[in-house]
Structure 1
Amino acid sequence: MHATPSRPDSLADGKGRLARRGMLAGLTAAAVLVPAATASAAPRQRRHPAGPTIQAVASATGIELSTQAVPAGPLTLSVSTSEPKQQPLGLIRLRPDTDLDTFLVHYKTAATAKDPAVRRTALAQIDSEAHYFGGAAVTSASGTVSVSWILAPGTYHLINYTAADPARPETGIRELRVGPPEHRPVQPWAPTQVIAPYDDGADGRFLTASVLPAKGTFQVVNHSAQLNEVMLYKATAEADAETVTACMEALRQGKEPALFPFTGLPTGLTPLSPGASAVFSLSLEPGRYLMTSFISNRTTLTKRAFEGMWRLVTLR
């Protein structure tokens, strides 16, 4: 089942076709919260503390974790997969009055319902039932992607958005227990670049530099009013404002684009709640990329990418 509210419709496969997939939602909460002014500041040395690292290996049949119990405070999740198909992992924390089974049923409905009214109801439910802290979308080609947060004590869940199924929760969900903090010296995280999804009226935008490091660490701050993500697609030589706009407009209308100006599968940071922040690190091949979000617009139910929430950037 491809119940992935956060993933694209598998945008381009080898034939440039779309495989219809579901769409998720967003809500509130946060990992490292950053003041709004930070998003417009120039990249600089940031001294976020670094704590333990959990190694996560994702597949369609399960999630392997090096540990499921860590102390509160700084935490890094290092995600990899041996599969060519995208494996998008995200960290969530259910609200006290929501159990996992209920959330997964609503999640599946939000991802697969054809009736717009049913989808809106399910999206509103999962928006209110969990906090989304972001995560890593990886393929065998992308290599390891790491995401870091500062977490409070409590019970969290790591979800594979393409494998989450209420009938088989063991394939797409792992519990993470965050215990009392340990008072120990910590090291700073690496310097970061800033990426901030934000709203420009009804449109979605990305506040970031036009040139970013291909091997880098990024502070992402979600300044939009809904759940968002940061996905990077390798652009083709034909990619420019005109060809990307034409492609996204065709996809918005449910048509086959005349040209796909990007290739492969995206990698990046999975759904992050409004007002929340996370740090993620990756190493990609230098070149031009399409930065975008495939989260559904809560009003129109259309993917934000198809409505123009994208930006061409260069990784060096």
Structure 2
Amino acid sequence: MVARSKLYSFAFRVSIVAASAATALTLTGTVAVAAPRHRPTTVPVVMTLDEGFTLPQSVRAGWVTFEVSTPDVSGGFLHYLQGFRTLGAADPDVVVADLRAALSPDPATAAAGIAATARDADLVGGAAVDAATTVSVTLPLTAGTYYFFDLNDLFVPGQQAVLHKLRVVGGFIGHAPAADATIAMRTVAGAPRFVAPTRLPAGGTFRIVNASDEIHELATQKVVPGTTDVDIQRFFDSGTTTPFAEPSLRGAGAISPGRIVYLRIERLSAGPYAFMCFVPGKHSGVPHAIEGMHTVATMH
């Protein structure tokens, strides 16, 4: 979710990214998913620099698809829809302050901020978009009160993040989308990593599972053909030779451990892409991508 100083700013803006029907899904609790008789609720979200975005006051509990887009044109993440619900007695504004600290270029501040976020919030996901694509994310939302905002507001000096309250009501209904592949976020040999196929269908639906004990996101950016994980790590270590073939970064917002999100990116051209996570490590405060949480897959 966040690189440090120029690197974080580059990666995040890019110059700064199931349960099946009738089974039980473990989130921060256990959700009994109803039989597959209902399609996911769809919520269109158009994000703009001038007017922000709007959400309905409430939706039915179940699999909720947010179709996120923006008409704003610029390189990198223009908008980053992030959703959460509070834990314990935490105030939603405190969660925003936690996330602001997690974006700090100072590793100690970032580590404290992401630890506070994990304590105060259940991050349910969202979508990072630019004008070239529509990003759809399908989230399993149980009854309760959720908050959504544009995480990129935290990068604008003096910008106040505007929280949108969404009430989720009723019993959980519906079923998850069909997935073309699963991308897991795991701890491998003590380090955060993606476990993903090396070939994926462009425009496919990907089931993203946070099977680790840390908060993660999935940002994706097209890379130059022939780029390897070694090339990407060399870039993060030195910042000298960019492996990226385009300025835009898109993907799925941050999710807490145990969470699932289904991601679909429209109009994604074929070619090699890097999956990356810029959430800071809970101990190091260094973005996971810099610590090696990236992998290259070819969209075909």
Structure 1: distance between partners of 2:92 and 2:178: 35
Which of the residues 105, 109, 121 maps onto 2:97? 105
Structure 2: distance between partners of 1:63 and 1:33: 32
Q: Is the 8 A contact 2:65 2:138 kept in 1?
A: yes
Which residue matches 1:79? 68
Q: Is the 8 A contact 1:158 1:175 kept in 2?
A: yes
Which residue matches 1:144? 134
Task: Answer yes or no: is 1:128 the counterpart of 2:119.
Answer: yes
User: Normalising by the residue count of structure 1, what TM-score does the alignment of the two structures yield?
Assistant: 0.78
> The residue matched to 1:307 in structure 2 has which SS?
coil
Relative to 1, partners in 2 of residues 1:246 and 1:130: Cα closer, same or farther, differing over 3 Å?
same
Structure 1: distance between partners of 2:128 and 2:222: 14
The one-letter code sitting in structure 1 at the alignment partner of 2:296 is L
* Structure 2 stretches lacking a partner, 5+ long: 18-23, 28-35
Structure 2: distance between partners of 1:159 and 1:48: 31
Stretch moving more, 128-137 or 66-75? 66-75
**Offset, 1:273:** 0.8
**Offset, 1:285:** 0.7
Which residue matches 1:181? 171
Which of the residues 153, 163, 167 maps onto 1:163? 153
Which residue matches 1:233? 221
Which residue matches 2:193? 205
> The residue matched to 2:46 in structure 1 has which SS?
strand
Deviation per residue, 1:169-214 (Å, 9 max, x gap): 5x5421111122387xx57623431000111123222222111010
Q: Is the 8 A contact 2:143 2:172 kept in 1?
A: no
Structure 2: distance between partners of 1:105 and 1:166: 14
Structure 1: distance between partners of 2:254 and 2:296: 20
Which residue matches 1:11? 10
Stretch moving more, 221-230 or 98-107? 98-107
Which residue matches 1:33? 26
Deviation per residue, 1:40-96 (Å, 9 max, x gap): xxxxxxx69532111111233454235231111221111111123411112100124
The one-letter code sitting in structure 2 at the alignment partner of 1:287 is G
**Offset, 1:137:** 0.8
> The residue matched to 2:8 in structure 1 has which SS?
coil
Q: Is the 8 A contact 1:63 1:173 kept in 2?
A: no
> The residue matched to 1:300 in structure 2 has which SS?
coil
Structure 2: distance between partners of 1:300 and 1:281: 31
**Offset, 1:299:** 1.7
Relative to 1, partners in 2 of residues 1:102 and 1:62: Cα closer, same or farther, differing over 3 Å?
farther
Structure 1: distance between partners of 2:48 and 2:135: 15
Which of the residues 67, 74, 80 maps onto 1:88? 80
Q: Is the 8 A contact 2:177 2:262 kept in 1?
A: no
Structure 1: distance between partners of 2:291 and 2:245: 17
Which residue matches 1:39? none
Structure 2: distance between partners of 1:182 and 1:264: 39
Superposed CA RMSD: 3.2
**Offset, 1:306:** 1.3
Q: Is the 8 A contact 2:124 2:255 kept in 1?
A: yes
Which residue matches 1:40? none
**Offset, 1:162:** 0.8
> The residue matched to 1:190 in structure 2 has which SS?
coil
Structure 1: distance between partners of 2:286 and 2:250: 21
Which of the residues 163, 175, 192 maps onto 2:180? 192
Structure 2: distance between partners of 1:188 and 1:308: 30
Relative to 1, partners in 2 of residues 1:214 and 1:182: Cα closer, same or farther, differing over 3 Å?
closer
Counterparts of 1:38-49 in structure 2, within 5 Å, are none
Q: Is the 8 A contact 2:222 2:272 kept in 1?
A: yes
Q: Is the 8 A contact 1:49 1:74 kept in 2?
A: no
The one-letter code sitting in structure 2 at the alignment partner of 1:134 is G
Relative to 1, partners in 2 of residues 1:225 and 1:242: Cα closer, same or farther, differing over 3 Å?
same
User: Normalising by the residue count of structure 2, what TM-score does the alignment of the two structures yield?
Assistant: 0.81
Counterparts of 1:234-313 in structure 2, within 5 Å, are 234-237=222-225, 239-250=227-238, 256-283=239-266, 284-313=268-297
Which residue matches 2:20? none
Relative to 1, partners in 2 of residues 1:178 and 1:124: Cα closer, same or farther, differing over 3 Å?
same
Q: Is the 8 A contact 2:272 2:297 kept in 1?
A: yes
